[in-house]
Homo-oligomer: A and B are copies of this chain.
Amino acid sequence: MTKIVELAGGVGGARLAHGLQAVLGDRLTVVVNSADDLERHGLAVWPDHDTVMYTLAGRDDRDRGWGVADETWTVIEELGRYGEETWFRLGDRDIATHIVRTARLRDGDRPTEVALHLQRALGLRATVLPMTDDRVRTAVRTDDGWLSFQDYFVRRRQEPTVHDVRFDGVETAGPTPEVMAALAAAASIVIAPSNPIVSVGPILALPGIRETLLAARRRGVPVVAVSGIVGGKALRGPADRMLVSLGGESSALGVARLYAELADAILIDTLDAALGPAIEALGVRVVVTDTIMLDDAGRERLARAVLETAVAAA
C-alpha cells in the first residue's frame, strides 16, 4: 500500500488533500502547520488543521471559501455583547470543534491525540497530523512592529508589508513521533500549494524535518511540490506580497527557489509554462498542468498529476 505524506497549510493544501484522499483514502497523511494556532476567548483554535479536517470531511464551505458549511453565527454575536473582540469570526459549528479540543487538551491529551479524536468523529479516511505537539507561533514584522500571525492575517487583513517572519518556539519544538513515522513510511512526499513562507515554512523549520526530507530523497522517495503562485499571484492570501517583501520573487520560480534543495519536481500552472526552463535550471523537474482546483474534479485531477509526477520521479 503506497503511503503519501502531504505537508500543508490551509485552504490550498486542504483542497489538494481532498483530491489526494479521493485517490488514496486512508493511505494519505497530511502534516499541517500549527504555527498559526491561537487562543481566542479561552478556546484553542487551529485554523490550518481545521480547514484541512473540514475539507476532508466534505464539510468545507465552498461559497465562503473557509470554515464549515451550513454555519451559523450566534455565539460570536453574543461574545460581542460581552465586550469580547470579535474580529476573528468564529462560527458556531467551528466553536463546537474548539470547545471539544480545549476540553481534551485541558484533560492532558496531546494535540495529536485530540486531532485524531476530532477527525475520527467526522469520519475522515485520511489522517491529519499537527506538525508538532509543542507550541510554535508565527510572528511577522511590519511597520507597526512584530504582530502575531492572526493579528496580521485576519485583523489587519494582510495589509501591512511583512519585513521579517519568525516562528517563536520552533528551535525547541520537535515533530511528533506520528509525523516522523509517517515520513519514514512515505512512498512520496508532497509539498502543498500553500504559502511557502508561513504555511509550509514552519513545518520545514521544525528541527529534523528538513534533514528527514533530504534523507528520504536520498533513499529514492520523491518530494513533489506544487506552486501556489499562478501568473505571479497567490490564489489566496498574501504569499505573493510576502515573497516580494522578503526579497524573493512572486512567481512559480520564486517558489521553486525556496524548495530547490528539497524537491525533485514542482507542478506549475499552464499560465506559468514559460518559467519552466528557469526552474529546471535549479535542478527541479517541472510539470506544467492546470493547478486551479475549482471543484471536486479539479482537486482530484491535480492530485493525480501530483501522484503521477511522484511515480515518474521515483
A→B interface (CB under 8 Å):
41-43, 71-72, 74-79, 81-84, 92-93, 95-97, 99-100, 102-103, 106, 117-118, 121-122
Residue contact B72 to A102, C-beta cutoff 8 Å:
no
Select which of B72, B82, B96, B118 is within 8 A of A118 by beta carbon. B82
Residue contact B103 to A42, C-beta cutoff 8 Å:
yes
Residue contact A42 to B93, C-beta cutoff 8 Å:
no
Select which of B79, B82, B99 is within 8 A of A75 by beta carbon. B99
Q: Which chain B residues lie closer than 8 Å to A99 at the CB level?
A: 41-43, 75, 79, 95, 99
Select which of B42, B93, B102 is within 8 A of A78 by beta carbon. B93
Select which of B92, B106, B118 is within 8 A of A74 by beta carbon. B92
State the copy count for this chain.
2
Nearest CB on B from A102, distance (A): 6
A121 CA to B84 CA, complexed, in Å = 10
Nearest CB on B from A106, distance (A): 6
Nearest CB on B from A169, distance (A): 21
A265 CA to B164 CA, complexed, in Å = 73
Q: Which chain B residues lie closer than 8 Å to A92 at the CB level?
A: 72, 74-75, 78, 92
Residue of B whose beta carbon sits closest to that of A79: B96
Residue contact B95 to A82, C-beta cutoff 8 Å:
no
Residue of B whose beta carbon sits closest to that of A68: B78
Q: Which of A42, A76, A102 has the most CB of B within 10 A?
A: A42
Q: Which chain B residues lie closer than 8 Å to A76 at the CB level?
A: 96
Q: Which of A41, A82, A118 has the most CB of B within 10 A?
A: A82
Q: Which chain B residues lie closer than 8 Å to A77 at the CB level?
A: 96
